[in-house]
């Protein structure tokens, strides 16, 4: 529910309840909470962790979203909280948002219109205010409590007169009435002559100190601007969740872990470093370097030996290999299998690119020099994997810079077409 200073609904010219600007914002807030809640409930994590994640997202919205458009701007951050790709979350929201929003708006108007028919409970800033209003009187001045033979008495300090404490309200009212009777009647105010306005008085006394031009407000400065609905932690903290009967509707996605995200160019740089350590026989230096890598990059590097064996047709006992690697890195088996999947793809692309590099070196000195200059750019193009459309577009753009059409065709045949053939089924 919204506080008394935040109206959620109002009546239009037809007498129908509609949402205010704040109500529209709340409808977006509740829709995102409901849809994100569906995604979180599908995650295979304990209920306590689910509730903690929901609370974290709610708190983030309270602190970072001030108007409806901001929800869409924050989609990448929401995706990160939910452990999924931005594209995947965007697709889910596109399929379900409008239907969910209509349900939320209907529920919100229904809930708020019902609340308007029910008197709101008065809010007090202090517990003492609520107590005083409930009692209807304050403790009478000049009195005290005394206990005598198990009874509590109210004692007039000046006279010593005792009355049972049950008569507290009666004594308080009598004291108040006596005080009012003793209070002198206020004399009628004496009318004074017209007073000099304070500004006129200041100008008369200090006028020579003031200078400047008159302040003229333009019309546009007086008009209201389209400012965002300011919403913060203190406002949304009082907003109760909407409760729907039965299933909320929409997709119930089977939650999957996000893909492993390691740029191909970084992978190639790490492969180069491993070769340097091997050539120099620097085993301890290699171990320290691997330990310093982010955990998934660490696992990818350690998988290279087993991937090399697999490429040669040797049998690799992957369950045992992944079990040992999981114990060293702390990654789950499902996550390690995603690293392995990416490692296999990168291994195939690397083999293809290195094979093309060797062919280019024997093609002609001009082509060899051209490939040497283009090599870092080719690796960065591969950072778009697994988006082959982006790879093709960026590679075409890169190769279009080569003025010689015959050289351009050689590099296309060497680096673009073979890579595009490496598509996962």
pLDDT(4) > 50: no
Rounded distance, CA 388 to CA 361, Å? Answer: 26
Which residues, 6 or more positions from 132, have their beta carbon under 8 angstroms from its beta carbon?
138
Alpha carbons 336 and 315: distance in angstroms, whole number: 19
Question: 62 and 232 in contact (C-beta within 8 Å)?
Answer: yes
pLDDT score at 269: 92
Indicate whether 225 pLDDT > 80.
Answer: no
Let me know how long the chain is.
425
> Lowest-confidence range among 103-117, 147-161, 356-370?
147-161
- What pLDDT band is residue 234 in, cutting at 50, 70 and 90? very low
In this predicted structure, what is the pLDDT of residue 186? Answer: 59
Q: Is pLDDT at 267 greater than 90 in this prediction?
A: yes
pLDDT at res. 266: 92
**135-139, 296-300, 309-313, 358-362: least confidently modelled range:** 135-139
- Residue 200: pLDDT band (50, 70, 90) is low
| Separation CA 85–CA 256 (nearest Å) | 10
What is the model's pLDDT at position 218? 45
* 53-86 tens-digit pLDDT: 888 888 888 888 888 878 888 888 888 888 887 7
Strand partners, 223: none
Q: What number is the average pLDDT over the span 75-99?
A: 83
pLDDT in tens, 373-405: 888 999 998 888 888 888 888 988 998 888 888
Per the model's pLDDT, the better-predicted residue between 291 and 129 turns out to be 291
With a cut of 60, say whether residue 372 has pLDDT above it.
Answer: yes
Q: Cα angle at 267 between 264 and 272, to 5 degrees?
A: 130
For residues 245 and 309, the model is more confident at 309
**When comparing pLDDT for 18 and 257, which is higher?**
18
Highest mean pLDDT among 212-216, 231-235, 259-263: 259-263
How many other CB atoms are found less than 10 A from the CB of residue 33? Answer: 17
Q: Supply the DSSP symbol for 415.
A: I
Banded model confidence at residue 289, pLDDT cuts 50, 70, 90? very high
What is the average pLDDT value for the chain, to the nearest integer?
A: 76
As a dihedral over the C-alpha atoms of residue 68, residue 73, residue 77, residue 78, rounded to 10 degrees, the angle is 40
pLDDT for the residue 38: 86
Give the pair of three-digit tokens for residue 46. 């304990």
pLDDT digits (tens, 9 = 90+) for 153-189: 667 787 877 776 555 556 666 666 666 565 555 555 5
Query: Residue 7's pLDDT is what?
Result: 83
Using the predicted structure, report yes or no on whether residue 302 has a pLDDT greater than 90. yes
Is the confidence at residue 249, as pLDDT, over 70? Answer: no
Tell me how far apart the alpha carbons of residues 104 and 94 are, in angstroms, rounded to a whole number: 16
pLDDT band at 229 (very low <50, low <70, confident <90, very high): very low
Sign, Cα dihedral of 354, 360, 362, 368:
negative
pLDDT band at 272 (very low <50, low <70, confident <90, very high): very high
DSSP state of 165: G
Q: What is the mean pLDDT of residues 313-318?
A: 88
Distances (CA, A) of 97 to 2, 50, 248: 23, 21, 12
Which helix (H) or strand (E) is 17 found in, with range?
Answer: strand 17-19
Say which DSSP state 260 is in. P
Of 47-51, 85-89, 353-357, least confident by mean pLDDT is: 85-89
Is the pLDDT assigned to residue 195 strictly greater than 50?
yes
pTM of full prediction above 0.75:
no
- Residue 258 clears pLDDT 80, i.e. is over it: no
Q: Give the residue from 69, 89, 93 showing the smallest Cα distance to 81.
A: 89
Examine the pLDDT at 30 and tell me if it is beyond 70: yes
Query: Token digits for 312?
Result: 């040669």
């Amino acid at each position: 529910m919204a506080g008394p200073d935040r109206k959620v609904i109002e009546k239009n010219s037809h007498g129908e309840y509609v949402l205010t600007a704040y109500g529209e914002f709340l409808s977006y807030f509740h829709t995102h909470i409901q849809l994100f809640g569906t995604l979180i409930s599908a995650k295979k994590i304990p209920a306590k962790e689910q509730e903690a994640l929901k609370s974290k997202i709610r708190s983030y919205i309270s602190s970072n979203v001030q108007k409806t458009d901001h929800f869409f701007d924050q989609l990448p951050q929401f995706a990160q909280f939910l452990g999924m790709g931005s594209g995947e979350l965007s697709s889910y929201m596109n399929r379900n948002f409008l239907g969910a929003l209509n349900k939320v708006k209907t529920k919100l108007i229904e809930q708020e219109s019902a609340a308007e028919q029910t008197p709101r409970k008065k809010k007090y800033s202090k517990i003492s205010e609520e107590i005083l209003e409930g009692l209807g009187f304050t403790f009478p001045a000049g009195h005290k409590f005394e206990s005598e033979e198990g009874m509590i008495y109210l004692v007039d300090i000046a006279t010593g007169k005792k009355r049972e404490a049950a008569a507290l309200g009666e004594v308080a009212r009598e004291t108040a009435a006596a005080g009012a009777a003793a209070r002198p009647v206020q004399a009628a105010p004496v009318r004074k002559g017209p007073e000099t306005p304070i500004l006129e008085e200041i100008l008369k006394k200090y006028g020579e100190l003031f200078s400047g031009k008159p302040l003229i407000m333009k019309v546009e400065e007086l008009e209201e601007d389209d400012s965002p609905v300011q919403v913060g932690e203190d406002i949304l903290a009082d907003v109760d969740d909407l409760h729907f009967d039965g299933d909320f509707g929409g997709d119930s996605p089977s939650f999957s872990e996000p893909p492993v995200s390691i740029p191909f160019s970084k992978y190639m740089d790490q492969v180069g470093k491993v070769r340097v350590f091997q050539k120099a026989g620097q085993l301890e230096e290699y171990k320290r370097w691997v330990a310093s890598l982010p955990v998934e990059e660490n696992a990818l590097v350690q998988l290279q030996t087993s991937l090399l064996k697999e490429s040669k047709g040797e049998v690799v006992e992957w369950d045992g290999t992944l079990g040992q690697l999981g114990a060293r890195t702390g990654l789950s088996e499902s996550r390690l299998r995603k690293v392995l999947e990416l490692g296999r793809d990168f291994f195939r692309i690397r083999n293809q690119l290195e094979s093309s590099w060797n062919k280019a070196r024997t093609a002609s000195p001009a082509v060899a020099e051209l490939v040497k200059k283009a090599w870092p750019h080719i690796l960065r193009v591969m950072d778009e994997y697994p988006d082959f459309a982006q790879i093709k577009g960026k590679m075409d753009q890169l190769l279009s810079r080569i003025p010689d059409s015959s050289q351009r065709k050689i590099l296309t045949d060497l680096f673009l077409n073979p890579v595009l053939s490496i598509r996962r089924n």
